[in-house]
Structure 1
Amino acid sequence: MGADLVIHAAAAFPTHGTAKFIYSVNVGGTENVLEAARTAGVRRVIFISSTTVYGLQEGRGQKEETFFAPIDPYAETKIIGERLFLDAWKKHHLETVILRPKTIIGPGRLGAFQILFEWIANSGAVFILGDGKNVIQLLAVEDFVSAIVLGSRAPCSGEIFHFGTNQYRTVREDLSDLIGHAGTSSRLVFIPRVPAEAILSVLYGLRLSPLAAWQYKSASQDATVNTDKAKLMFSWTPRFSNFLTMRNNYDWYVRNRTELKKKRGNTHRDVWNLKLMKILEWIS
């Protein structure tokens, strides 16, 4: 008996290699997944895309129809992947569902939040680009798992959906409460956006910072998406707020910190080698 459902979540991130490599993995890999699914008679394939397809467009409540403005090969290949999935539905009648999540964090998935957690755990300064009054939207891994499960059986195909928490505040408010929860002497330090972005760009080019351009350039912007379509067609409701998502992940990180530091890498599941980013922690 063959597979009935395939979830395509694999992708090369900007830190994983050249644009050529990222295109090879993300586009070539997606083509292979769809071809294998058709050959095997799979009923439905779910594609994990990304809201990075919108680039640096600032705003709250962006809808699925918002125009694309990618700023790196990763986002470009996600757009191509979406088009391949839509074509598979239109041309081959393969059921396809495309999910665009906001930043996913949770136990086992750290990414850039490792930097914040380290600063807080060490009672260091927590550096914020801009004034921290902007709003970002996260997604707890538990909420995204429920979205995938619902997407596997929802009566729809050839559709795109947003996913993110519906409970969020300003960056300043959420991080202040996280420091309070941690009980350390960390403090928020607000740094001018333009010079900070210039420095981070240089560090990234020298492979001394793990933060890709869309990560640090969007850090000071309002960036939320509208999830009404998912709520209507999936009956999906997120359970975790931004703060609860960060709090749970911080607690998990602190409990597993010693063991995690034995594993280095550049994926969302690894502890990153921060190199010169450690200097900021020491100065703070």
Structure 2
Amino acid sequence: MTWLVTGGAGYIGSHVVRALGAAGLPSVVLDDLSSGHESFVPGDVPFVRGSILDGSLLLQVLEDHRITGVIHVAGFKYAGVSVTQPLHTYEQNVTGTQRLLAAMESHGVDRIVFSSSAAVYGTPDTDLVTEQTPKNPQSPYGESKLIGEWLLRDQAVARGLRHTSLRYFNVVGSGDASLYDSSPHNLLPLVFTALVEGRTPRINGNDYPTPDGTNVRDYIHVSDLALAHVVAAQRLDAGDELEPAYNLGSGSGSSVGEIMATVAEVTGIPFTPEIAPRRPGDPARIVAAGDLAARDLDWRMRHSLREMVETQWIATRGAAQPSE
């Protein structure tokens, strides 16, 4: 049972690869390194540099490594940027997924775990998102993820594909000091960079109807997320029936103010965040309920907020150190 991890050299994908190894499941990584790092791939895991847009390469990888299932993490993940680069977003996330599914069909690979996103919900009317919450993506990125789920659904009807999709909001932390989040758009990398450069991090609005006036969002540890992908893969291997999609959420969330206070405590760099105006359309609170995933995928929050921040800070500082 060998699993292909697309995007396995990225921040999330590399944690999935390590979780597979810890569970005794062999894997192969396919990554074009557009945002990943070859150094993130363990030395005993085969690595193929290439794109999921390359149909011939996909066929070769599936055949050469006798792949039995796919954990599909690869994609263009920047929601804000996707608004100005919609064609690129759709090519990477929709066309890429279509070509992957076509290659899987050709080789009889019939199981896939899709790394989706809570962006499929857009800005919902409820502050607690469930899998039944209406889908209303508000960026090409969110739309592309929803289309990816539709592709899996339709391929299941047409060819018996066995699948599930995992939806989540903000991923933080590190399960290995050598693995760090290098995204220029995610909250903690932005905050850490500002502090290291002597700038003051910013909060957009502190007058929301929340306990401390700042937005409340879901933050989940990357290792917990990776483990859920592996359990989903194991259950597909076992022939179990899974829901078409699961939310991986805390059910309660953390405020941006809490994040900032925890960052100051962990880093030892005292600061008072600058308060900027609210961003248009930003809801006060959005978190996801993880009840179905808890039932079927052993999903739970295994890390505290402090552990999330602390592990990411350690990894970030390690990445910033010059190599010997």
* TM-score relative to the length of structure 2: 0.67
Q: 1:59 to 1:123 in 2, by over 3 A?
A: farther
Range with greater deviation from structure 2 (86-95 or 123-132) = 123-132
Alpha-carbon distance between aligned partners in 2 of 1:241 and 1:60, rounded to the nearest angstrom:
21
Q: Indicate the residue corresponding to 1:77 in structure 2.
A: 144
How far does residue 94 in structure 1 lie from its aligned partner after superposition?
1.1
1:169 matches 2:254: yes
Question: Structure 1: which amino acid aligns with 2:100?
Answer: V
**CA separation of 1:19 and 1:52: change in aligned 2, threshold 3 A:** same
Q: In the alignment, is residue 30 of structure 1 matched against residue 94 of structure 2?
A: no
Structure 1 residues 174 and 44: alpha-carbon distance in aligned structure 2, compared to 1, 3 A threshold: same
1:145 aligns with 2:226: yes
Counterpart residue number, 1:265: none
Which of 131, 135, 139 is equivalent to 1:64? 131
Q: Whole-Å Cα distance in 1 between the matches of residues 255 and 145 of structure 2?
A: 28
Do the aligned partners of 1:99 and 1:160 also contact (CA within 8 Å) in 2? yes
Aligned mate of 1:230, from 277, 293, 302: 293
How far 1:59 sits from its partner (Å)? 4.0
Q: Displacement, 1:226?
A: 0.5
1:8 maps to 2:80: no
Q: Work out the CA distance in 2 between the residues paired with 1:145 and 1:95.
A: 19
Q: Which residue is equivalent to 2:10?
A: none
Which 5+ residue runs of structure 2 have no aligned equivalent? Answer: 1-64, 175-179, 207-212
The two structures have a TM-score, normalised by structure 1, of 0.76
Deviation at 1:58, TM superposition (A): 5.6
Query: Relative contact order: is structure 1 or structure 2 higher (C-alpha 8 Å, sep ≥ 6)?
Result: 1
* Paired residue secondary structure (2:127): strand
1:124 counterpart SS class: coil
| Cα pair 1:123 1:184 within 8 Å, conserved | no
Q: CA deviation at 1:122?
A: 4.3
Q: Which residue of 1 is the match for residue 111 of structure 2? A: 44
Matches within 5 A, 1:1-284: 2-14=66-78, 15=81, 18-57=85-124, 59-107=126-174, 108-111=180-183, 112=186, 113-131=188-206, 132-154=213-235, 155-157=240-242, 159-165=244-250, 168-194=253-279, 218=282, 221-259=284-322
Partner in structure 2 of residue 275 of structure 1: none
4+ residue stretches of structure 1 with deviation over 6 A? none
* 1:94-152: CA deviation from partner (whole Å, max 9, x where unpaired): 11111112222234224322211122334532210011532111121111110011001
Distance in 1 between residues matched to 2:139 and 2:253, nearest whole Å: 27
SS in 1 for 2:92: helix
Instruction: Please tell me the residue identity of whatever aligns with 1:237.
Output: R
Describe the SS at the equivalent of 1:45.
strand
Equivalent pair of 1:51/1:101 in contact (CA under 8 Å): yes
Cα deviation, residue 90, structure 1: 1.9
Q: Aligned pair count?
A: 238
Q: Structure 1: how far apart are the matches of 2:85 and 2:296?
A: 38
Q: Give per-residue Cα distances to partners, 1:51-89, cap 9 Å, x unaligned.
A: 011112264321011111212111111111000111111
Per-residue CA distance 1:236-281 (angstroms, 9 max, x = gap):
2221133321221122212322459xxxxxxxxxxxxxxxxxxxxx
Whether the 8 Å contact between 2:128 and 2:251 is mirrored in structure 1 is no
Please name the residue that 2:16 is paired with: none
Contact 1:89 1:157 in 2 (8 A): no
